[in-house]
Amino acid sequence: MTYTLSINQRVPLGDVAATATAADPVAIDDTVRARVQASRETLEKFVAEERVIYGVNTSMGGFVNYLVPVSMARQLQENLLNAVATNVGERLDDTTVRAIMTARIVSLSRGNSAISLKNLDKLIAIRNSGVVPQVPQKGSLGTSGDLGPLAAIALVCIGQWKARLDGEELSGAEALARVGIAPMELSFKEGLALINGTSGMVGLGSLNIARAKRLLNTYLLISALSVEGLAGKTKPFDPRVHALKPHKGQQEVAKFLWETLAESTLAVDELDTELLLSGEMGDTAKAGSKSIEDAYSVRCTPQILGPVVDSLAAIEKTVEDELNSSNDNPLVVPDEIEVFHNGHFHGQYVSMAMDHLAIALTTLMNLSNRRIDRYLDKSNSEGLPAFLCQENPGLRLGLMGGQFMTASLTAETRAKAMPMSIQSLSSTGDFQDIVSFGFVAARRAAEVLDNVAHVVAFELLCACQAVDIRGTEGLSPATRRLYEATRELVPYLDHDVTITDYVETLAQHLLSEPGLG
């Protein structure tokens, strides 16, 4: 199905991720075409009037003080692309490149960037053709836009650099020839319009957020399953007490757990524990057979995941606002009949949003890590066997080794939570003197997300092992569905076996399938 952009349409961030993942084509309607044409004609009017405009009749970056006649426009724009296409490292996957190209098309379709309609049409055609520019991952400052990543894409559009088509690596010129698209011929400002924006970090950010939302939604259900697996008490989730602390995310998480566990008999009614302990009360202080309260990793789930829920909502709005912006320089606004030199290319909003995403995900992972420890530690698991090893303990080691992996990933991920958005370094003769590193923040958030998914996958594996030991007949209807979906992928482990494939399969499902499909 073709996704069509309109001038009055606010594009939901999730649509970028969805169209990129499905490789659905994108298009623009007549309202966009008229606005893009008006912006270009406005710029052409200014050129005819010999106004001095950055990137039109001046050079760029550290050579901003150089005047360049418009007769040299094509060479100037092509030189720009080649000069800044300096990223290195592994290439981005096809889905990420499509998301980035889609984000750039959305921004250009706002009709304030003065790209020619002909070249915007070519960008859309290339995005839809199956040609995927090869974009090295590392090297973007995220200020003056994602110059390196976007230049790699733009070079393919003019028939240079490298691309993939049907899995085959080709020169940009050959790839375009095979799909019957003539390379772009750039005029003044057009190379700048293709690369001078935040679309790299927005495209990658859109995928991060879509995957994080899937993981979080499933993790709420995993949390309910872990309450059952750890014989946790449900009263701390009663919405009546959460009404006394008006954080929206906290209240949503508590309500979900309260309702999900309503029919569970594995989760504990606190009143039963209170009655038991009351019967054990005597004339001297002594240890009771149960505790009246659970550890924080069970009891404080709404207070820990609530901020994650709220943060993710704010992060999504920030990146969606950036998606629906004109984010290059200069901007040519036909309504005002004016050109504005500006700094809309600066990626600080997205950089901070991606840092916040990494912090939120690390918070979720910390919770998961602590629950895993409770599952495997006999003294803290409310009657479960050590390392969830029910059969032949000692001869077998059970799930002991899985904690090695989760502890390692947790430590690594905490180190990655150091914000990139504060790591500014000056460059370009001190012209770009404060930068965002937004693309780096987005790329690192993707790495954090992958790590967290593997930790959560092992918690889910432990939870299913635990409820098998306790008796699955006590599961709530919702957690039973999760349990059964997991058991289609991972069996009950009554013998020691390498679990890498199981954990990786679960992690992949957590990121791609809501509720494990």
Rg (CA), the chain: 27
Return the closest-CA partner of residue 352 out of 421, 442, 431.
Answer: 421
Measured distance CA(188)–CA(122) in Å, rounded:
17
Residue corresponding to tokens 């009351």: 278
Interacting residues of 160 by C-beta distance below 8 A, sequence separation 6+: 81, 82, 171, 172, 173
Measure Cα distances from 5 to 8, 108, 345, 385, 434 in Å: 9, 11, 22, 57, 33
Question: 254-274: string of b/e by CB count within 10 Å (b at 16+)?
Answer: bebbbebbeebebbbebeebe
Give the residue numbers annotated as catalytic, written as ranges: 54
Contact, 149 vs 119, CB < 8 A? no
Residue 302, H or E segment: helix 301-323
Measured distance CA(18)–CA(210) in Å, rounded:
8
HEC string of 452-507 equals: HHHHHHHHHHHHHHHHHHHCHHHCCHHHHHHHHHHHCCCCCCCCCCCCHHHHHHHH
**Does residue 185 sit in helix, strand or coil?**
coil
